[in-house]
Structure formats: structure tokens, C-alpha cells
Amino acid sequence: MMRKLRVAAVSAAALLALTACGSGSPTEGGTTTAPAEGSEPAASGELTPIEVGVIPIVDVAPIYLGVEEGIFEEHGLDVTLTLAQGGAAIVPAVQSGQMDFGFSNVTSLIIGRDAGLPLKIVATGPQTTGDGEDDFAHVMVPADSDATSLADLEGKRIAVNTLNNINDSVISEGMKQEGGDPESIEYVEMAFPDMVAQLEAGNVDAIGAVEPFVTLAEAAGAKRVYGQYAEPVPDLSIAAYFTTDQKIEQDPELVDSFTAAMKESQQFATDNPDMAKAVLPSYTSLEQDVIDELTMPRFPQEHDIASLEKIAELSLESGLIDAIPATEDLIVQ
């Protein structure tokens, strides 16, 4: 078995600690984003209020941009975006109906579906750039490390934000593909904001970072050795927007409107990368010099079914699920 040490552990039960690319407890309150000034409302003149749980990371830039640009308003939606540190708050809020939609990484949603939670993906989220040297996620080592590849980290301590989830799954798969022993890795659970300091202190040998922490780590002297999203799984889909089976059955038109607005927002972010970066200060505390340097994900409109199937296979191999959920049970197509 892989040795796994828990540091800065999430207190919620494993099934509810479903995160996108972050972990931890909810923030106090939330952020309400009003429709863009000057945009035209839906033809009926009535906007339907919805609440969406999101995480303050670069992955959700398209939904903020879509709200600012009036895309959701054009689809008849008045959106409240509520910030949480992770799915430990978002998933139960969506399940209870407090929130209409939420954002989570795909491994967590696969695990949840396998465990019987009535969660289903309605719109895709961020995707790897596919460039192992320039992606928004990297395994990084200290400046004085001799490691130049993932295989060099065999038997080492690697920090990930959540144990038994997407990051340790893809890093282990990468180690296997490079001929190393994934069972030898000691994964250490650690919040992303803590990783750079812990790496500098020598408490871990490497970190599985995502933006903006890749850029922050590099500024502190850390080196990239492996793109854990770009290299082991082609066109990896990292996260998605989800709701409940009940919401889909009871209000299919609302779900369709949200899905259509998310697709347009993803495409708008793709077509306007500078605007996608420019929206980051509206919901994060990132400094402009960091924003200028960081790498953004790709923002596709459609689900990459092969990628989701591969993540499900890795989850099964790792013992995270008992059976691979049927595609129709996991995704609204």
C-alpha cells in the first residue's frame, strides 16, 4: 500500500470532502455577482435566480466572465456565485437544494456517484493544455533537488491537496508510465497555499501544485519536473459543474439554460484569454504580476468522454470506487 500521511486534514467525511482543485472548509459567506450592466434580459423579461458553488481558483474564470458579460442573463439566469474553499461545503449544499449547481473535480464526482450520491455533470470545466512543460499543474521540486523527472521521485514524499483523489491518482499513473513504483510514493495531504513553504522547509520532497501556486513556487526557486495533468492522460478533463438528479428531473429547462450559458462562457474565455485573466482579481487575491505569469487551463465546451473514462479506470484500480459508473449516470449528454 502507498504510505499516506495527513497534514492540514479536511475535517469533513471522505464522501463529502469532494473538491475541485482545492480543499478545506467553506469561506464565511459568499460572493454575489450581479448581471453585467447594460446587458439585455431574457425574452420573457424574467430572470430565474440560481446559486452556484465555486472555488477561488483559476479554473472557474469562465463562469465569472460569463456573468460579467451578461451571457447567463441572456439565458434568463440571475446568478449568485458563492465561494467555498472546497466541495466539503458545495456538495451538501447542492444535495440539499441550498445551491442549484456546484463545481468539483471529476474524480470526486465519480467517487460520489459510485457511493450513491445523486450527482450528475451538466457542464464541463477546465482541461489540461496538453503541454507537459507549460500547463496549469506541475509536480515541483526545490531548486537544489537532483530530481529531473517524476521517476526520480520514487520513494519520496509528495504533497497533494487531497488524498485519494485526482492529484495522487494521476501522479501515480505517471510514475507507473515512467517505469517507477507508484506504491513507493508517500503522499502528504496539504492545502495548496501551504505547499511552497513546506517544500522550502524540506518537509516534503515535491509538491503537486496547480496555478497560481505553480507560478508562486517557481518565483521561490522551485523547478518543474512533471505535468501531472498534461502527461499521463491525454486531454485530461479536470473538473466540471454538477447538480442533482432531482434538479434535472424537476427543472430540465433550467438545467439546459445553465448548460448552454456555461458552454458559451467557456468558449468566450477561450476566445478572450486576456479577459479570462482580467476577471481573476474579482474573486481571488492574486497580484497582477502573478496573474501575468500564470498558465491558464483550456476551457472546452464539450465533455471529453475518453478522459472521464480513464479517470474512472484509475479510480477503480486505486480502490477508490467499487465499479465504474455508467456514462449516462455520470453526465447529462
The string of DSSP letters for 30-84 reads ----PPPTT----TTS-PEEEEEEE-SSGGGHHHHHHHHTTHHHHTTEEEEEEE-
pTM of the model: 0.85
H or E element at residue 87: helix 87-96
Q: Which residues pair with 54 in a beta bridge?
A: 83
Instruction: Output the furthest CA–CA distance in the chain (Å, rounded).
Output: 63
Alpha-carbon distance of 307 to 312, in angstroms, equals 9
Residue type, 8: A
Q: Are 51 and 265 in contact (CB under 8 A)?
A: no
Q: Are 127 and 237 in contact (CB under 8 A)?
A: yes
For the chain, domains (ranges, CATH) are 12-128+236-330 (3.40.190.10), 137-226 (3.40.190.10)
H or E element at residue 209: strand 206-210
Neighbours of 226 (CB within 10 A): 30
Neighbours of 68 (CB within 10 A): 21
C-alpha cell at 100: 442549484
Q: Are 156 and 146 in contact (CB under 8 A)?
A: no
Q: Are 127 and 166 in contact (CB under 8 A)?
A: no
What confidence score (pLDDT) does residue 89 get?
77
Alpha-carbon distance of 233 to 328, in angstroms, equals 22
Query: Could you list the mean pLDDT of each consecutive 10-residue stretch along the chain, which spans 333 residues?
Result: 35 35 41 41 74 94 98 98 82 93 94 94 96 96 97 97 92 96 96 94 97 94 97 94 97 98 98 97 93 96 93 94 94 87
Q: Are 87 and 300 in contact (CB under 8 A)?
A: no
Residue type, 147: A
H or E element at residue 262: helix 252-271
Q: Residues with Cβ < 8 Å from 30, sequence gap 6 or more?
A: 80, 81, 82, 83, 84
Neighbours of 234 (CB within 10 A): 12
Rounded CA Rg of the chain:
19
Q: What is the DSSP letter of 182?
A: G
Give the DSSP letter string of 265-314. HHHHHHH-HHHHHHTGGGTS---HHHHHHPPPPB--SS--HHHHHHHHHH
What confidence score (pLDDT) does residue 162 get?
87
Alpha-carbon distance of 212 to 218, in angstroms, equals 10
Q: Are 143 and 223 in contact (CB under 8 A)?
A: yes
